[in-house]
Amino acid sequence: MLTLSLLLLLTTSIASVSSGFGKCPTKSETAIPIWPSFIRDWYDYASYGDLTNSIFRKCIKYSFTSTQNTVHAKREFSVKLFNTQGSSHYTIASGGIENFNMIGEEFLTWTINNVWLIDADYDKYLILWSCDEHLFGTFSKESSWILTRNRTEILNKDIETKIKNVLEKHNMDLSWYSPVSQSGC
27-179 CATH: 2.40.128.20
Lowest mean pLDDT across 8-12, 19-23, 119-123, 168-172: 8-12
Helix (H, G, I), strand (E, B), or coil: what is residue 157?
helix
Q: Would you kindly state where each structural domain of the chain is located, as residue ranges?
A: 27-179
List pLDDT tens digits, range 10-44: 344 444 445 667 778 777 778 888 888 989 999 99
pLDDT band for position 148 (cuts 50, 70, 90): very high
**Distance between CA atoms of residues 5 and 108, nearest Å:** 14
How far is the CA of 149 from the CAs of 4, 127, 152, 172, 181, in angstroms? 39, 12, 9, 22, 15
pLDDT at 125: 96
Report pLDDT for 173: 94
Q: Is 159 exposed, middle or buried (0-12, 13-18, 19+ CB in 10 A)?
A: middle
Q: What is the mean pLDDT of residues 84-92?
A: 90
Mean pLDDT of 131-139: 78
Residue 57 has a CB neighbour count (10 Å cut-off) of: 21
Give the pLDDT confidence score for residue 162 in this predicted structure.
Answer: 96
Which of 57, 30, 60, 55 is closest to 45 using CA atoms? 60
More confident residue, 12 or 135: 135
Contacts of 127 (CB under 8 A, 6+ apart): 117, 118, 119, 120, 144, 145, 146, 147, 163, 166, 167
pTM for the model stands at: 0.81
The amino acid occupying position 39 is I
**Which DSSP letter does residue 68 get?**
T
